[in-house]
Structure 1
Amino acid sequence: MIRVLLVDDQHLIRAGLRMLCESTPDLEVVGEADNGREAVSLAARLRPEVVVMDLRMPGVDGITATGRILAERPATRVLVLTTFGDDDHLYPALTAGACGFLLKDAPPTELLNGIRRAASGDSPFSPEVLRRLVQRAVHARTGTPQRLDGLTAREQEVLGLVAEGLSNTEIAQRLHIGVTTVKTHITSLMTKTGSPNRVRLALFAHGV
């Protein structure tokens, strides 16, 4: 059972997320918060495995809350639920330690699978969000793009599929290899590229 904390200042969104999570037997909503300050308090008390975090909230926002939660409980996985209007908040949330980004209008199955992937140590993100992150980074970039020297042919294949937003399972199916092997390649890629998480690895693949 995956323990989930929902954080959003809109009651209807939280209610919808709760109903969605409670429709499946492997997710348990242990609490709800309508602001970042309450989210930090509940995360410390309820010890959720995954926090589904809104970014724009009055008072303590989702970025600040993410940083505080992870400072106290580094093993907690913070999954951002965002809108395209949150572009300016995505990089700060990534820096604060968010493990993934999904759109608020994502299909229910994508959200549920995203929570599961976050809990398992993966970094789920909607392809649309990744494209926006990359576009903004490319637009703002200065200097020479990072090189891919030192990567094996298989690692470059895996890196390209990570950049497309594929999950470990999808990469394994595409390359006809085991999921454990994919995880090993991704760990090696993160080490070689200095990427702390999957999103940064995807940005690296685009030369950002």
Structure 2
Amino acid sequence: MAIDVLVVDDNQIMRAALRGILAADERLQVVGEAANGREALALARQLRPAVTLLDHRMPIADGLSVVGELGQHSAVLVLTSSDDPGTIAEMLQRGARGYLVHGEFEPTDLVRAVHEVVGGRGWLSPIAASVAVSMARERPRRQRVDPARGSLTERELEVLELLCQGLSNASIAQQLWLTEKTVKNHLNHIFAKLGVRSRTEAVVRWTAE
């Protein structure tokens, strides 16, 4: 069964380019296009696409103003030239499941990102991942404890905090006086409890809580 995609960008050439990239995967099909946020909301309500590729800077209604409502009808993958940390943080906080910055990804990355967000996971360009880590560092741990996502042990919380700071498994092991194998085991438990499959997804999910 094909995955329906809505493409939202005020640049017609960019929309055509995105259509071409997505056409390379027979599992994906573009079911609609919009040139601004208002059009995007109307089409999302009508078509209920699995994924919406959303630009940020657009006339009438920009991406930031509609990402929250779009997220009620579709998984939102922001695709924009903006690498402003404030914009990235707002998009993620308002419900975007992924954030790709033009120039920081290949066509194959976009196709994979679409599949990842459909599966309930996240996908971030390097700059967006850096912002997500900063958000996680600044948010007090007590605000991030959500029993609905699994009960993390104190040790798992410690590992997750260091993961959100961008530390490698070896560095986490050194700081907590653990073996790397033990750290990997803790990460596997964390991923299972948060419902994610990678380090980046864990940071995004933890930050979004």
From the CA coordinates, give the structure whose radius of gyration is larger: 2
Taking the aligned partners of 1:30 and 1:158, their CA distance within structure 2 comes to 39
AA in 2 matched with 1:92? E
- Residue 4 of structure 2 aligns to a residue in which SS? strand
AA in 2 matched with 1:151? T
Residue equivalent to 2:49: 48
1:87-166 mapped onto 2 (5 Å cutoff): 87-105=85-103, 106-134=105-133, 146=141, 151=153, 153=155
Taking the aligned partners of 1:24 and 1:109, their CA distance within structure 2 comes to 10
Stretches of structure 2 lacking an aligned partner (at least 5 in a row): 146-151, 167-182, 197-201
Partners of 2:67 and 2:94 within 8 A in 1: yes
Runs of 4+ in structure 1 over 6 Å off: none
1:1-20 mapped onto 2 (5 Å cutoff): 1-20=2-21
Residue equivalent to 1:184: 192
TM-score normalised by the chain length of structure 2 = 0.69
- Residue 25 of structure 1 aligns to a residue in which SS? coil
Tell me: CA distance 1:112–1:160, structure 2 relative to 1, closer, same or farther (3 Å). farther
Residue 76 of structure 2 is aligned with which of 75, 78, 85? 78
Residue equivalent to 1:199: 204
Taking the aligned partners of 1:65 and 1:203, their CA distance within structure 2 comes to 18
Deviation at 1:91, TM superposition (A): 2.2
- Residue 41 of structure 1 aligns to a residue in which SS? helix
Taking the aligned partners of 1:176 and 1:29, their CA distance within structure 2 comes to 40
Tell me: CA distance 1:136–1:82, structure 2 relative to 1, closer, same or farther (3 Å). farther
Deviation at 1:66, TM superposition (A): 1.5
- Residue 124 of structure 2 aligns to a residue in which SS? coil
- Residue 13 of structure 1 aligns to a residue in which SS? helix
Taking the aligned partners of 2:134 and 2:203, their CA distance within structure 1 comes to 17
Taking the aligned partners of 1:136 and 1:108, their CA distance within structure 2 comes to 28
Residue equivalent to 2:34: 33
TM-score normalised by the chain length of structure 1 = 0.69
Residue equivalent to 2:25: 24
AA in 2 matched with 1:98? A
Taking the aligned partners of 1:99 and 1:29, their CA distance within structure 2 comes to 19
Q: What's the % identity of the aligned pairs?
A: 33
Taking the aligned partners of 1:111 and 1:155, their CA distance within structure 2 comes to 32
Partners of 2:132 and 2:203 within 8 A in 1: no
- Residue 92 of structure 2 aligns to a residue in which SS? helix
Partners of 2:56 and 2:82 within 8 A in 1: no
Residue equivalent to 1:59: 60
AA in 2 matched with 1:101? Y
